[in-house]
Structure formats: structure tokens, C-alpha cells
Structure 1
């Protein structure tokens, strides 16, 4: 699979690569919320999808990894196979996605929303696919805000902290977390965090 500057391919990266360690930390964080039927949307190479399946296998029925790139799906099937995992190629903003994939007990979406111009359709899909009482864990890097320029060539824009956390007001409960390197915590006053993580209960 081609490296685009955004793909996390552990086999081709230094084990101490900062981006790799950040991604691993997010999946480790998500293990706690993994149960029943789980969706990993924008699953990329599949390493995190498999990580979840291995770590939480006793609590899982199925893990579905979805990515828009067929090459990524093929790579994931070949490199990160697990009997509990199914990889599919699909557009996260496709309005028919909930009908295609069904309902989930937990949905994970890491570093995805900043790539999607159809943000509203994507968020509607996440809500529709989550079972009542289910958990959405979603992360994004903070930036200048919706419609503002970003130095990242693959990002549509990067939301502000306020814009990001306001997206989930329709959920019954929201917990705010922040990430800096491998550290994920509720946040401390005066400390700068480049990445936000929302844990949302429907």
C-alpha cells in the first residue's frame, strides 16, 4: 500500500515514530469501550482494528473496519486478518451506509472528520449506526476552525475545540478528553493539547 503521509503502516515505520505511537494510544484508550459489535470507521491499514479484536475478544461479537480506499481494505485483509474482523470499502459520508452496515454497540473514528467535506452526513451516519446506550469515541486535531486553511494537505479543515465538542450535543452524555503525544487525559487548565477526543453515549 502506498504511503500518503497520513497512512499509519507499522511495518514500514520506526516503532518510536510519534504519529504511530499517538494512533496506538487512541486504540488502547478505545479498548475499554469495546464490546458487542464494534465499528472502526476509516480503519486504514487495519492495525488498530485488529488490535481491538485481539485485546477485547472475550467481549466482542464482531469488529467491522471501514475505509474509503480499496487498496487499504485489501492490505488490511492480507496483513491484519482476525477471525472477528471484517474489512469493507465504503464512504463514511454515504447516506446509505447505516442501511448497509447496521447497528453497533461502539463506534471508533480516529482522525477522520478533518478529511471529510460531507461532515453533516458523516455525523448523521455515526448517530444512526450507534445503538441506544452505545458509545462513540471520536478524535480530531484542533486548528483554526471550519472553513479556515490548514497546513495539512489531506485535511479539509481542522475544527477549533469549541466547534468539535459542540458536534455531539445530541448525545445523552459527553466526556471530553485531550491528547498530547501518548498522553490522553480529561485536560488541565492552561495546558495546550493538539488533539481532542469525545466519548459520546447515545
Structure 2
């Protein structure tokens, strides 16, 4: 199986794999916010969509998993089928994406921001597609900053923590809470001497 980019395929990994645990933890973190019509942008192999649909089946009306890789979409459709989940191919920066997908009550975007050339446009699309009262849960790894090189071959850049938080300042309609992820755990308050590698924002659209 040859896919471009970074993909988590649980069926090919040991349950103790650190990266798998981190990715699954983000979906567990987001579960309480999931309701109504839900979008998972850059859904990859589809395990997250399936996990969310099973856990939140009463609160979930429909879930749409979108990825730009047709092989990933084919795999997700085959391996992680659920009656409330639809998988679609799409580009996060496509200017027609909001019109194609419609609006959502919950949007999940995990480890995608660092892969797109224009993170501001990407966030514009997500905010546009989020219904008033809806929740966006979005994460990204911290790094050297916008426009700076990264050691990860599939990352365009990795924002600093300050840049990640400042990204939301342009959206007064969003009420945002920030968390830091270290391994499978999330902390709102920083602990002295602890290095946090990833940030996650929970954004509620107030209007």
C-alpha cells in the first residue's frame, strides 16, 4: 500500500504505537463536542470517522470524511464503512469546497494545518462551513514558524504556539479555548519544565 503524505492505518500498527495513540487520543478528546452534521477534513484511512460515528451515533446526523487522496478514500470506504458516514475526495484549499460540502455543526481537523500552503485560507474555509453554534476542533504540531523549514517531509511549515493562537484572532465570531497535547494527554494549563509538541483549539462559532 503506497500512499502519499502521512497516514495512520491502525490495522497495520501495534496498539502501543506512539503516533497511533496520539491520533486516537485526539478523536477521543473531540467526542463530547460531536453533534449534528459532522465534517472530518483530511480523514485519511477513515478510522476516526468510524470511531466517532460508533460512539456518537445518537448525536450524529451525518458524517462526511474528506481527503485529497483517492486511495485513502477507497480504503476508508472499504475498511471503515458506517451507515452514517460518507467519504469524499476533496482539496482543503479548493475555493469551491464550502459550496460542494455545505455547512456543518461540528468540524474536526487533525494534523492538517501544517500540510497546506495557505493555512489562513484553510481556516477561512472551515469557519465558513461551520454553522452558528457549531464547534471546530483543530490541531497542529508546533515548530519553527510559518515559512520556516521543517524536518517533516510532508509539512509545508509548522507554526509556533503563538502563531497558532494568533491565527484565530481574525475571527471575532469564534470563541476559542486552547489546549496542549503531549502524547495521549491534553492539558489546558502549562506545567513548568514540560515541553508540549502539539496544540489543539476548540472553537465555538457564536454568530
TM-score when normalising by structure 1: 0.97
Deviation at 1:120? Answer: 2.5
Determine if contact 2:3/2:72 at 8 Å carries over to the other structure: no
Q: 1 CA distance for matches of 2:143 and 2:37?
A: 32
Q: Which structure 1 residue ranges, 5 or more long, are not aligned?
A: none
For residue 115 of structure 2, what is the aligned residue in structure 1? 115
The answer to whether the aligner puts 1:96 opposite 2:73 as a matched pair is no
For residue 32 of structure 1, what is the aligned residue in structure 2? 32
RMSD (Å) for aligned C-alpha atoms: 1.1
For residue 46 of structure 1, what is the aligned residue in structure 2? 46
The answer to whether the aligner puts 1:181 opposite 2:193 as a matched pair is no
Deviation at 1:165? Answer: 1.1
Deviation at 1:5? Answer: 6.6
Determine if contact 1:94/1:121 at 8 Å carries over to the other structure: no
The answer to whether the aligner puts 1:86 opposite 2:64 as a matched pair is no
Determine if contact 2:21/2:184 at 8 Å carries over to the other structure: yes
The answer to whether the aligner puts 1:15 opposite 2:15 as a matched pair is yes
Equivalent of 1:200 in 197, 200, 203:
203
Determine if contact 2:38/2:64 at 8 Å carries over to the other structure: yes
2:202 partner SS: strand
Equivalenced residues, count? 202
TM-score when normalising by structure 2: 0.95
For residue 167 of structure 2, what is the aligned residue in structure 1? 167
Which consecutive aligned stretches of 4+ in structure 1 deviate over 3 angstroms post-superposition? Answer: none
For residue 156 of structure 2, what is the aligned residue in structure 1? 156
